[in-house]
DNA sequence: GATGGTGTAAAATGATCGTTTTACATTGAG
DNA sequence: CTCAATGTAAAACGATCATTTTACACCATC
């Protein structure tokens, strides 16, 4: 595994468990088994490293979302939450911690959110056979986001509830 | 206004805009117009101050949620988001930043979440005239949480969507 | 008019922050 | 063989972290 991959993987775990600001560079270098000089040569800066972590996570997340129904989407989210999640959306957490002050982080967050929203819009078109249904898309987005956030303190049942709610909402548009 | 109220109010604003860890004690003292000695005499520690901020915010939020229908609940959330919100749930942000390591913060977060969940459960009973409907309650919780989180990047429309979705879900239980 | 409580200002605490630099070892390609 | 690249270890950078301490002012009450 090359250095950047190792660094990003190790950093993601630390950021996820302890927060971005609370995780110092020494923890990151130690965890990746590299010197700080090498870290800066590859990652550029701490904010750039955070952006890289978010970028990789987005790619990995997107791979899980390669499904063709809303139901499968929420089942994918359930799998994700079981394996990786439970601590909320790492993108929104990064955004919140940095106050939106770092452009590279903001960009990574918005790109991820746009990707998920696009996927949901695509699936809603497939399921309803309508060219667009903005209200329904927005509702599914809220359920998706809510399942992720509520899972922090209510566990997997949040994702199950979101999946059931989405099914109910879709039902009305399939008459 | 007494010292603690002034301190907590000023701190809440700073924490909300810039994050908890990123906000140093000097910013807090300067913003409240008090010395660090006074801050520690009243607040105890930074984590205790964060817990106090969350406690006050919970009380203020609870006052807004004194409604008697699910629809009014989401309208109250809409008002809140317009006036105070837009940056996500400050409780979950605190939890995420501290990694759940501070017991006083964890307690404040869980107390808040329990209060909101109880309110939702109460309203669902009123609206459905059933003694309990755990699935529906869970779905409303997810919508409530999702509206708050999605509003960060999608604006008020998330809350409107959540309110509409909740109405649809409730409808099926009123037949 | 001394006392105790409550405040400020400012310095000191030792640790840790993100980042850069210095000095040195290894390695693959010309 | 040499050059350039790429890595490490370790120190230094100045800034900032949360917290405590020292020294002093105000003010109400006994």
pLDDT of residue B175: 65
Look at B96 and A93 and tell me if their CB atoms are within 8 Å: yes
pLDDT of residue A17: 96
Q: Does A152 touch chain B (CB under 8 A)?
A: yes
pLDDT of residue B55: 98
pLDDT of residue B86: 85
Confidence bin at A1 (pLDDT 50/70/90): confident
pLDDT of residue A30: 96
The answer to whether domain A3-171 has CATH 1.10.357.10 is yes
Which of A21, A142, A161 is the closest to B97 by Cβ? A21
pLDDT of residue A85: 77
Name residues 11-40 of chain A within 8 A of B (Cβ): 17-19, 21-22
Token reading at A111: 């790109």
For residue B160, give every residue at least 6 positions away whose Cβ sits within 8 Å of its Cβ, in sequence order, or none. Answer: A138, B78
Could you tell me the distance in Å between the CA of residue B38 and the C1' of nucleotide D15?
24
Which of A22, A153, A158 is the closest to B138 by Cβ? A158
pLDDT by residue (tens digit) across B74-130? 999 999 999 987 899 999 999 999 999 999 999 999 999 999 999 999 999 999 998
Contacts from B82-88 at CB under 8 Å and sequence distance 24+?
A: B82/B156, B85/B148, B85/B151, B86/B151, B86/B152, B86/B155, B87/A96, B87/B16, B87/B17, B87/B152, B88/A92, B88/A96, B88/B148, B88/B149, B88/B151, B88/B152
Task: Using the Cα atoms of residue B48, residue B53, residue B57 and residue B59 in order, give the sign of their dihedral.
Answer: positive
Mean pLDDT value across residues A108-131: 96
Confidence bin at A132 (pLDDT 50/70/90): confident
- Minimal C-alpha gap between A149 and chain B (Å): 7
C-alpha to C-alpha distance for A22 and A146, rounded to whole angstroms? 25
Mean per-residue pLDDT of chain B:
96
Mean pLDDT value across residues A6-29: 97
Mean pLDDT value across residues A48-60: 98
Question: pLDDT at residue A103 above 70?
Answer: yes
Cβ-contact B11, B53 below 8 angstroms: yes
Confidence bin at A61 (pLDDT 50/70/90): very high
A106 closest CA partner among A85, A117, A120, A92: A92
Mean pLDDT value across residues B139-158: 98
pLDDT of residue A100: 93
Question: pLDDT at residue A101 above 70?
Answer: yes
Residues counted in chain A: 175
Question: pLDDT at residue B171 above 90?
Answer: yes
pLDDT of residue A86: 86
pLDDT of residue A174: 80
Q: Which helix (H) or strand (E) holds B82?
A: helix B70-83
C-alpha to C-alpha distance for B46 and B48, rounded to whole angstroms? 5
C-alpha to C-alpha distance for A170 and A174, rounded to whole angstroms? 7
Mean pLDDT value across residues A153-160: 97
For residue B64, give every residue at least 6 positions away whose Cβ sits within 8 Å of its Cβ, in sequence order, or none. Answer: B76, B79, B80
Domain residue ranges in chain B: 3-171
pLDDT of residue A175: 65
Mean pLDDT value across residues B152-168: 97
Helices A70-83, A134-154: inter-axial angle, 10-degree rounding: 20
Mean pLDDT value across residues A92-117: 97
Which of A87, A96, A144 is the closest to B88 by Cβ? A96
C-alpha to C-alpha distance for A122 and A70, rounded to whole angstroms? 10
pLDDT of residue A123: 97
Question: pLDDT at residue A162 above 80?
Answer: yes
Protein-strand D interface by C-beta, 7 A:
A 3, 33-38, 41-42; B 21, 23-27, 36-37, 40, 45-47
Could you tell me the distance in Å between the CA of residue B174 and the C1' of nucleotide C18?
58
pLDDT of residue B102: 96
């Amino acid at each position: 595994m090359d250095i950047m991959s190792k660094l990003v993987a190790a950093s993601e775990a630390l950021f996820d468990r302890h927060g971005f600001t609370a995780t110092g560079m020494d923890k990151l270098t130690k965890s990746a088994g590299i010197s700080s000089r090498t870290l800066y040569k590859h990652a550029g800066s701490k904010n750039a490293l955070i952006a890289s972590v978010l970028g990789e996570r987005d790619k990995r997340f997107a791979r899980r979302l390669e499904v063709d129904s809303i139901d499968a989407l929420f089942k994918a989210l359930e799998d994700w939450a079981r394996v990786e999640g439970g601590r909320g959306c790492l993108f929104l957490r990064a955004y919140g911690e940095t106050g939106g002050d770092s452009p590279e982080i903001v960009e990574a967050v918005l790109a991820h959110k746009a990707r998920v929203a696009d996927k949901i819009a695509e699936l809603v078109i497939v399921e309803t056979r309508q060219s667009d249904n903005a209200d329904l898309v927005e509702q599914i987005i809220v359920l998706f986001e809510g399942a992720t956030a509520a899972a922090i303190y209510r566990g997997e049942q949040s994702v199950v509830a979101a999946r059931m709610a989405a099914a109910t909402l879709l039902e009305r548009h399939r008459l």
